[in-house]
Structure 1
């Protein structure tokens, strides 16, 4: 096995994508069904039974599209939908979409099943049957180029932009060279970097669209009265929005930017993609993402098999559906939170490793997790999931320029 062509295996889905995990999802369709769903999933105490859901009751096109995307993510093998019975989520359409993907899917309506106890018992039996079905499924060979990898930074401090973030950029460059689709976010944290990113776009039209989407983010945050620079960033030694933006930007590496996508858009091929998470139109639902996990969910909806999470001040979260790899920027934070971290990028600061060496460490960790090894947060049982209201317009043709193969 060579480093450039690792022997990966995945679970084949009907749309041609392959998953690096084969999880059963228990999905609540309104907050009123959350407790029943949680009791069903927690009964199994299993790393491959995941709880997700949407808490809202009134309809939202974005929320419906996101639920379809995550329930048919390649890492998902089967789905139990849990409905109270009177919410506005179109449960029948969601069930039909999952069924059309070839996955086992069941719908449990609490109002029709006799309430809490009866629904929990019925749901446990349904999930148990799904697990037996998935146990018989055999993995198939998977190329490295079939992976989609995302990255996010959270709890950034003064070390993030000089250790963990640029080390992820080195890893991204290596993955893009091998035709892996890599997704970085977010336009609200990249204000001031729009012209640099436009210069890296594969054509001028895409460059202009990148500049426009960052300008949209700037307007949005100005209207909300609060930007991406948080008090915790200042406490961690970051001095200006420019410093934070450049640090966040360094996660993208130096490869050409192949496209601009929105939540739920799956990259059509290998390359580097910018994810625009700031809603279109006037602010309607508050801040674009109320926590880091909201962005992770959006990257999952874009098909990311796993996410590289850089942090300076520290974070203990993971995610449902797709594994999270933690890269710690600050050596002091790593000493305190080593049990929650996968990579110590603080070694760059102490002179124990170079950016390239840590980038190679992250690359190898990506291959290991894609190959079935559990990330730290995954092994600890972290399955955070947040889905809120948003509104997006479809991307235009210039967002995904056609790749010409010579």
Structure 2
């Protein structure tokens, strides 16, 4: 089935001043240190609005990665306004972030708890600020949106023995059709792709990019070995996965079969349509305070690189969503779907039961993407899931070999 055989839906976007289009128009309340987390959360809770989301960075010590990710999130196409919450003595450069948001054309306000009079006073001021920001965001022009303008990320979590034979390859089919239409697709989890580096290298659009892909997976393997953990969890074994190789091949199948156009790091915006691998493992030697890889942290990184929507495959079951961009749950296991159907968007387990083909489920996933881009709430959105994690990491910029498509954007 080709991409031209499926309807494009009635997608619409919120037009931002930089020309990008968002499929949501949320106001984010962003705390800049853990000491401001409670106040920010209360502001969001009391707003009682599905389009007011909580994000933030808990650390007091400055971190370039965290600042860059927060900047990319606050200027994401799905974001229409920003309220920054500061305690007042943290090291996060709140003024630089405010200036970056303002330069993007979005309304932004800053509240400093130590100056505003404490918890109660800041909460009240924050509620008023959110009302003002929402009113401005609601004036954003709504315009038609084409399939080639979509940016879609994918991740797997709670994998089991069914993930690599139903949900993951079905997402791969969806990715192939999106790439064929000129959209941007991002897959990641380099720590879960150990053993697949040569296969991915062969799909790279240049030999130099292929070498970079191999090197980034080797870095992930070293990182996991030194830190003493890996991507193969006890829950994977309980779910029927037998080896690291089996899990890696299953995770790899989410990428589909399109050529790999580039290698990016969290917060990098792909320069043109195509398929991109995201390297989520920190550069340099592993250090204290740097985390194991987690699903929600990786979702945040995919969103920071522009993903309008996230395709989340799961065999054992996961109920999480995300702030800013909707998450579409694709369930691999029909038994899991029967237990957790209220948390799932797509039952890819039908493939195992002989009730649907990979193409049919891939087409259903694409339809769900376009429905989300038409304003329809995903299941996790409707349930109020807005999980968010941002911690310390460190990355070096990608080299020119990683983005051979740079400068070829339409």
- TM norm structure 1: 0.98
- Counterparts of 1:231-380 in structure 2, within 5 Å, are 231-286=234-289, 288-380=291-383
Aligned pair in 2 of structure 1 residues 229, 255: CA closer, same or farther (>3 Å)? same
* Equivalent pairs, count: 406
3-state secondary structure, aligned to 1:126: helix
Aligned pair in 2 of structure 1 residues 405, 119: CA closer, same or farther (>3 Å)? closer
Q: Is the 8 A contact 1:289 1:295 kept in 2?
A: no
3-state secondary structure, aligned to 1:183: strand
Residue 402 (structure 1) shift: 3.0
Q: Is the 8 A contact 1:19 1:305 kept in 2?
A: yes
- What residue number does 2:120 align with? 117
- What residue number does 1:165 align with? 168
Aligned pair in 2 of structure 1 residues 262, 180: CA closer, same or farther (>3 Å)? same
User: Partners of 1:384 and 1:342 in 2: how far apart?
Assistant: 18
User: Partners of 2:113 and 2:290 in 1: how far apart?
Assistant: 32
User: Partners of 2:191 and 2:17 in 1: how far apart?
Assistant: 35
User: Partners of 2:363 and 2:5 in 1: how far apart?
Assistant: 14
3-state secondary structure, aligned to 1:239: coil
User: Partners of 2:8 and 2:243 in 1: how far apart?
Assistant: 42
3-state secondary structure, aligned to 1:161: helix
User: Partners of 2:8 and 2:273 in 1: how far apart?
Assistant: 15
- What residue number does 1:180 align with? 183
Aligned pair in 2 of structure 1 residues 251, 285: CA closer, same or farther (>3 Å)? farther
Residue 285 (structure 1) shift: 4.2
Of 119, 124, 133, the residue aligned with 2:136 is: 133
User: Partners of 1:316 and 1:182 in 2: how far apart?
Assistant: 23
Matched, 1:382 2:385: yes
Q: Is the 8 A contact 1:277 1:288 kept in 2?
A: no
Q: Is the 8 A contact 2:273 2:409 kept in 1?
A: no
Q: Is the 8 A contact 1:11 1:20 kept in 2?
A: yes
User: Partners of 1:350 and 1:373 in 2: how far apart?
Assistant: 28
Residue 233 (structure 1) shift: 0.5
- What residue number does 2:86 align with? 83
User: Partners of 1:7 and 1:232 in 2: how far apart?
Assistant: 40
The Cα offsets for residues 226-267 of structure 1, whole Å up to 9 and x where unpaired, read as 111011101111000000000000000000000000000011
User: Partners of 2:266 and 2:81 in 1: how far apart?
Assistant: 22
Residue 5 (structure 1) shift: 4.3
- What residue number does 1:68 align with? 71
The Cα offsets for residues 359-406 of structure 1, whole Å up to 9 and x where unpaired, read as 111011111111110000011111000000000000001111037699
3-state secondary structure, aligned to 2:154: strand
- What residue number does 1:192 align with? 195
Matched, 1:215 2:218: yes
3-state secondary structure, aligned to 1:335: helix
- What residue number does 2:12 align with? 9
Which region of structure 1 is more displaced relative to structure 2, 141-150 or 52-61? 141-150
Matched, 1:205 2:208: yes
Gaps of 5+ in 1: none
3-state secondary structure, aligned to 1:145: helix
- What residue number does 2:40 align with? 37
Q: Is the 8 A contact 1:185 1:275 kept in 2?
A: yes
Gaps of 5+ in 2: none
The Cα offsets for residues 211-234 of structure 1, whole Å up to 9 and x where unpaired, read as 000010011111011111011101
